[in-house]
Amino acid sequence: MANSGLPGGQKTPPNINSLAAQGIQGAGLGTANALKYAPQQVGVVGQSASVNPMNVTGSNVTGSNVLGTNVLGTNVSGTNVTPQSLANTSLNPYMNPYNDAVIKANETDILRGANMGLNTLQGQAQAAGSFGGSRHGIAMGEIGRDTLSQLAQSSAGLRQAGYGNAQQAALQDIGNNFQGQLANQGNNLQMQGMNQANNMQGQLANQANNMQGQLANQGNSLQAQLSNQQNALQSGLANQSTGMQGQLANQQAGMQDINNNLQAQLANQSAGMQGMNQRLGAAGQLADISNLGFGMGQTVNNNLAQQGAMQQALQQAVFDASAQKYGQYTGHPAQGLSYLNAALGVTPTTPQTQVTSKQPGLFDYLSLGASGYTGS
């Protein structure tokens, strides 16, 4: 219902019940919104970097093998000493070249002696007169046999002596040759032994020098490898330390950023909670003011109800007077009819009017306030 102006050009005052209803509704909406408030979840943003030290691995130091050359002495082989045998030695070179002349001279001497004996025997036989006899023949035979035997024994002895001398000379040469071969073999063996010793000493000296050189080179190589390995390890440890310090610094910076972010989120959450509490307090104050306005509205409504009752009583009196007058006006024909009914014996009926009243409650005021809030 549109607001009507008051006498004297005054504006219609605001409806206290509408204002109270609006305040209660606003307090309810604010409380409902506050109940929907969810605090901001504070989560750790970011992740600190992991510090992973790198492995420092030293290189293996391997020394070169020192292999000495084998010292191989030459075999000392003596020449074979082959003794000569008398059986395989010709004795011709050792025979006396005058042996045959001596034998012939000896035979000549024996034959001359035999002839001299025969001549003597013949002279004796002639002297005895037995020359040509048997005894003379036997005696000559004996002289001849003795002469042949002497010739044979003398030649054989001379030849045996010459052969023995040749054997002795050959044996002497064989012995001398054997001794010479043994001496030469000993000298050869001694020279080969000396040469072998000198050769082995030279090889041993060369081997020692070679091994010393290899050992020196190996020592220098090992020292260089150890130095390089130590430098590499020191560089790796330095790089590792620098990398770990950088990673720790980055990690600390990341942790500080996370802490700062967390503190900011906690501060924002606290501010949101404070704002929500302030909104709840304002909603409570609005509800209290609305309840106060509602009480004032009830007082005004009670006053208006009393005034309305008085106006209704006055209007009811006016209505009753008007109805009475109207009844008299309209009842005049009926009165005339009543006479007729009375004459006819009919009971007339009188229409009745019933007036009801209602005491307004809280729901009526809220409805009234809501209708005023919505502009109806």
Q: What is the per-residue pLDDT for 103?
A: 79
Q: What is the per-residue pLDDT for 1?
A: 45
Rounded CA-CA distance 121/135 in Å is 11
- For the beta carbon of residue 62, count every other beta carbon within 10 angstroms: 9
169 within some domain:
yes
45 within some domain:
no
Residue 363 is classified by DSSP as H
Q: What is the per-residue pLDDT for 217?
A: 92
9 within some domain:
no
Q: What is the per-residue pLDDT for 169?
A: 83
Kindly list the averaged pLDDT for each block of 10 residues, start to end, along the chain of length 376: 52 70 76 69 60 67 69 67 73 74 79 76 68 66 76 78 81 88 89 90 91 91 90 90 89 88 86 82 80 78 82 82 74 67 66 58 57 52
84 within some domain:
no
197 within some domain:
no
Which pair of structure tokens corresponds to residue 121? Answer: 């025997």
72 within some domain:
no
Please report, as a single letter, which amino acid is at residue 337: L
| Contact predicate 42/259, CB 8 Å | no
257 within some domain:
no
128 within some domain:
yes
Q: Give the SS3 label for residue 60.
A: coil
Rounded CA-CA distance 100/107 in Å is 10
Distances in Å between the alpha carbon of 293 and those of 24, 108, 360?
10, 206, 17
**pTM value > 0.75:** no
Residue (of 110, 202, 117, 197) closest to 156 by Cα position: 110
Q: What is the per-residue pLDDT for 205?
A: 92
Distances in Å between the alpha carbon of 136 and those of 126, 145, 169?
10, 14, 49
Which residue range(s) make up the domain with 166? 91-188
Give the count of domains, the chain.
1
